[in-house]
Amino acid sequence: MASTGQQTTSLKRRDSLVTREGDQLIITPLGAGNEVGRSCVYMSYKGKTVLFDCGIHPAYSGMAALPYFDEIDPSTIDVLLVTHFHLDHAASLPYFLEKTTFKGRVFMTHATKAIYKLLLSDYVKVSKVSVEDMLFDEQDILRSMDKIEVIDFHQTLEVNGIRFWCYTAGHVLGAAMFMVDIAGVRVLYTGDYSREEDRHLRAAELPQFSPDICIIESTYGVQLHQPRLIREKRFTDVIHSTVAQGGRVLIPAFALGRAQELLLILDEYWSNHPELHNIPIYYASPLAKRCMAVYQTYINAMNERIRNQFANSNPFDFKHISPLKSIDNFGDVGPSVVMASPGGLQSGLSRQLFDKWCSDKRNACVIPGYVVEGTLAKTIINEPKEVTLMNGLTAPLNMQVHYISFSAHADYAQTSTFLKELMPPNILLVHGEANEMGRLKQKLISLFADRNTKIITPKNCQSVEMYFNSEKMAKTIGKLAEKTPEVGENVSGLLVKKGFSYQILAPDDLHVFSQLSTANVTQRITIPYSGAFGVIKHRLKQIYESVGSSTDEESGVPTLRVHDRVTVKQESENHISLHWTADPISDMVSDSIVALVLNASREMPKVVVESEPVVDEAEEEKKAGKIIHALLVSIFGDVKFGENGKLVISVDGKVAQLDKQSGEVDSANEGLRERVKTAFRRIQDAVRPIPLSAS
C-alpha cells in the first residue's frame, strides 16, 4: 500500500501516492566499503541522519585520502559518532568539522578524545604533503576539540530523536561500538572490535538488545587468529633468540593501541628474565610518550586485571622500557629492541631503522599487526630478495621478517559467534579487503542459511536501502483516557509528538503532560456608535440565526449574544463593545458585527427595510454546486460531470467518482480517494454556513 510514513514539518504535504520514503533506511559507506581505511558510513532513516566514523585512507594523501563526502550533504547530518582514535576512523574529522557545512554534533569517548588531539597533531607534523594538499592544520584540530562532545560507555544520549549509546569494543583504549535507535529501529556499528580480552583491554561486549542491522568490520575475513598466548610466546621467543644472538629487533608498530599492549608484554617478559636486563628496549615515539598520561588515567576503560594492578602501582609505569626521542639519540651499539612508528614502514623512524638493519641477517623485524595494502611492511611479509631503500637504492633483504598478528580485530571465530548470538536480520560488511569480505560473506551465508538473514557488502557510495514498517504507537493519557473507547467510537484530541513518541491528550491536559501550554485570548473592542441599540439588534437578527438578548448583571446595560460567541454590549451612549474569545470563527463573526455596526452608524438616517429575500433552495444548491466544481477543478484539474450528478475526477490516469450528495468517493486508487474526500469535505465546510453547534 502506498502511504506516507512520516510527515515533515513543512506545510507542503508529501504526496501520499508515491513515497514510502519515511520508512526507508539508507546506509551508504562513504569509505571502507570493500576496502580497509577511511571508515565512514552514512545512515539515514525517517529524516534523521547519522554518520559513523570519519577516517582517512592511510595509503593516499591529500584529498584523495578522504571518504567520498561529496555524496552527501554534510549540513543534513544530525550526529557524527567516532568509534576510536585510529587515523582510518578519525583523521578526517578536523576537515569535516572545519571545512564543510556540517553543523551537527560529534561524539566520542573520553579516552578517544584525549588521544585524538595528540594523534592528529602528530599526524599533521609528520605528514609531508605540500601546503596546498594539507587537509587541515593544528588550529583546525584545536577548534574541532571544542565541538567534540564526550560520551561514556553505556551512557544513553538523545539528539533530535536519535537515541544512541556505546559498548566497549576492545580494539584500543576508548574504542566503542555504537548502537543507534531511531524510532525503534536499531543499528549497531561495531567499528573495529575484538572479542578477545588482552592485557589491558576488555573484550567487546555483547549488546543486550539485538539490532535490526549490524554494520560489522570484516578485516580478517575468514582467517583465524592463533590463541593469544601462543602469539605472545612466538613474539617473545623471536625477540629473545634474536637479541641472544646479538641481533637487533625492529618492531614497526603504530604508536598507539597495539604498541601499549606489546610494551606490557615486553616489560613483563623482561621482568621475568633477569638475563635480558642489560638489553635495552626503546619505544621511539614521542607521541606514545605523550599519550602515556592518557593510558595512566583512563584506567576505568580497561579490564579488571589492569584495574586491580592499578591498586598497587600503575602498570603503565614501565621498568625496563625507555622512550627514544629520535634516531640521533640512538647509540645502536649491540643488541636492542626498538619499537618505532609508523607501522607500515612508509617513512619516519621505523623506516630509517629498517634501512639501516635490513641487510644484516642477525637482525629481525617483527610485524605485529594488520598491514595495509601498498605499504613496505606488506611487501616484506612476502620476503622478497631485495628491497628499495628510502634513498632509492636497492638493498638485499637479509633480516628475518616475522609476522605475528596482535591486531585486535575479530577473526572469523569471533565474528561468527558474535553474530550468532546477536542474530541481526541484516548484516552489512565493511572495513575489509574485497576478497576477504567476499569469503566472509559466503561463509556467513552458509552459516545463516536456515534463517532469513541478509548479508550485504556494499562498495563505497553504493547505497543499501531497507524498509522498516514501523508501527506508530500513541499513548492516550489524561482526561481523554478516562474510558477506553470501543471500536467505532471517535477520539479527538491533540496529538503531541516528541522525538518518536506520540501522545494524544485533551487540550486541557496539555500543560500537565508536556511543557507546552494553551492560552485563551479574550478580546474586547469598543466601537463608537451613537444610534439605538435596537437597530443593531435588528440587523444582527437578519444575519445570524441566534441572537440572544439580555442585560448585563453588573451595569444593567443591554447586551446581545451573537451566534453564541460574541457578546455585544452597549457601554455608553456613544460606544458599544464587543467581547469574545479568540478563535477563527468568533473572529470572523466579530468582524462582521464590526462591519455591520460601522455601516449602521454611517447609514444612520436611512431605515432600510429589506424585503425578506425569498430563498430559492434549488437556486442555492446550484450555486453551491458550481462553486464546488470550480474549486475541485482548481485542485485536481480534470473534473467532469458524470452520471447521476456525480463528478468524475481524473488525475494521472487514475479516476475517482465523487457523489456530491453523500460525499462518497469511488476510486480504485486509495490515495486519490482519500485526497478527493478530504478536499471535498473542506470545500463543503467552506461553502456552507457555519453550523451553530460548532463550539
Considering only residues 18, 227, 619, 622, which one is a binding residue for other proteins as defined by CB under 8 A? Answer: 227
The smaller minimum CB distance to other proteins, of residues 148 and 358, is found at 148
Considering only residues 420, 451, 497, 538, which one is a binding residue for other proteins as defined by CB under 8 A? Answer: 497
What x/- string results for residues 363 through 402 when contact with other proteins is judged by CB under 8 A? ----------------------------------------
Which residue stretch of 276-284, 424-432, 489-497, 649-657 sits at the interface with other proteins (rule: CB under 8 A)?
489-497
Residues 309, 317: Cα–Cα separation, whole Å: 11
> Interaction with other proteins in 31-90: which residues (CB under 8 A)?
none
Which residue stretch of 78-86, 223-231, 395-403, 552-560 sits at the interface with other proteins (rule: CB under 8 A)?
223-231
The angle at the Cα of 671, spanning 668 to 675, to the nearest 5 degrees, equals: 110
Number of residues that bind other proteins (CB under 8 A): 108
Considering only residues 131, 333, 473, 615, which one is a binding residue for other proteins as defined by CB under 8 A? Answer: 473
Which residue stretch of 28-36, 318-326, 332-340, 687-695 sits at the interface with other proteins (rule: CB under 8 A)?
687-695
Beta partners for 186?
181
The smaller minimum CB distance to other proteins, of residues 221 and 671, is found at 671
**Which of the residues 86, 225, 409, 563 is marked catalytic?**
409
Q: Residues near 430 by Cβ (< 8 Å), separated by ≥ 6?
A: 29, 32, 33, 39, 41, 215, 216, 217, 218, 458
Residue keyed to cell 583546525: 140
End-to-end CA distance of the chain: 37
What x/- string results for residues 569 through 588 when contact with other proteins is judged by CB under 8 A? -------------xxxx---
Residue 79 in 3-state DSSP?
strand
Residues 593, 571: Cα–Cα separation, whole Å: 16
Q: Residues near 302 by Cβ (< 8 Å), separated by ≥ 6?
A: 173, 200, 201, 202
Least distance from other proteins to the Cβ atom of residue 27, Å: 24
In terms of DSSP H, where are the helices of 192-257?
A: 228-244
Which residue stretch of 58-66, 182-190, 441-449, 476-484 sits at the interface with other proteins (rule: CB under 8 A)?
476-484
User: CB atoms < 10 A from the CB of 529, how many?
Assistant: 23
Least distance from other proteins to the Cβ atom of residue 685, Å: 7
User: CB atoms < 10 A from the CB of 354, how many?
Assistant: 24
Read off the C-alpha cell for 610: 429589506
Least distance from other proteins to the Cβ atom of residue 401, Å: 25
Considering only residues 52, 96, 102, 165, which one is a binding residue for other proteins as defined by CB under 8 A? Answer: 165
Least distance from other proteins to the Cβ atom of residue 500, Å: 11
Beta partners for 189?
178, 215
Q: Determine whether 409 is an active site residue.
A: yes
Which residue stretch of 126-134, 394-402, 467-475, 620-628 sits at the interface with other proteins (rule: CB under 8 A)?
467-475
Query: With contact defined as beta carbons under 8 Å apart, do 367 and 403 qualify?
Result: yes
> Interaction with other proteins in 586-615: which residues (CB under 8 A)?
594, 598
Q: Does 489 bind other proteins (CB under 8 A)?
A: yes
Distances (CA, A) of 371 to 377, 378, 398, 488, 659: 6, 6, 20, 67, 73
Residues 411, 203: Cα–Cα separation, whole Å: 13
Considering only residues 134, 381, 474, 557, which one is a binding residue for other proteins as defined by CB under 8 A? Answer: 474
Q: Residues near 61 by Cβ (< 8 Å), separated by ≥ 6?
A: 127, 129, 133
CB burial string 358-382: b at 16+ within 10 A, e below: beeeebbbbbbbbbbeebbbbbbee
What x/- string results for residues 509 through 528 when contact with other proteins is judged by CB under 8 A? -xxxxxxxxxxxxxxxxxxx
Least distance from other proteins to the Cβ atom of residue 35, Å: 31
Least distance from other proteins to the Cβ atom of residue 173, Å: 13
Distances (CA, A) of 380 to 280, 475, 490: 26, 64, 76
The smaller minimum CB distance to other proteins, of residues 381 and 594, is found at 594
Written as one letter, the residue type at 361 is K
The smaller minimum CB distance to other proteins, of residues 396 and 663, is found at 663
Asked if the peptide bond before residue 342 counts as cis, ω within 30 degrees of 0, the response is yes
Considering only residues 129, 393, 686, 694, which one is a binding residue for other proteins as defined by CB under 8 A? Answer: 694
| Residue 431: closest CA among 410, 414, 413, 447 | 410
The smaller minimum CB distance to other proteins, of residues 69 and 165, is found at 165
Distances (CA, A) of 277 to 268, 274, 335, 464, 601: 12, 5, 12, 56, 112
Least distance from other proteins to the Cβ atom of residue 232, Å: 8
Considering only residues 132, 328, 465, 471, which one is a binding residue for other proteins as defined by CB under 8 A? Answer: 471
Which residue stretch of 352-360, 447-455, 627-635, 674-682 sits at the interface with other proteins (rule: CB under 8 A)?
674-682
Residue 397 has what DSSP assignment? Answer: -
Radius of gyration of the chain (CA): 38
Considering only residues 495, 532, 627, 686, which one is a binding residue for other proteins as defined by CB under 8 A? Answer: 495
The smaller minimum CB distance to other proteins, of residues 194 and 460, is found at 194
How far from chain centre, in Å, is Cα 65?
Answer: 23
What is the helix (H) or strand (E) element at residue 638, kind and residue range? strand 638-641
Which residue stretch of 359-367, 417-425, 555-563, 679-687 sits at the interface with other proteins (rule: CB under 8 A)?
679-687
Considering only residues 130, 278, 382, 492, which one is a binding residue for other proteins as defined by CB under 8 A? Answer: 492
Residues 343, 367: Cα–Cα separation, whole Å: 8
Q: Does 661 bind other proteins (CB under 8 A)?
A: no
Residue 2 has what DSSP assignment? Answer: -
> Interaction with other proteins in 273-312: which residues (CB under 8 A)?
290, 293-294, 297-300, 304-305, 307-308, 310-312
> Interaction with other proteins in 137-156: which residues (CB under 8 A)?
145, 150, 152-156
The smaller minimum CB distance to other proteins, of residues 36 and 506, is found at 506
Catalytic residues: 409
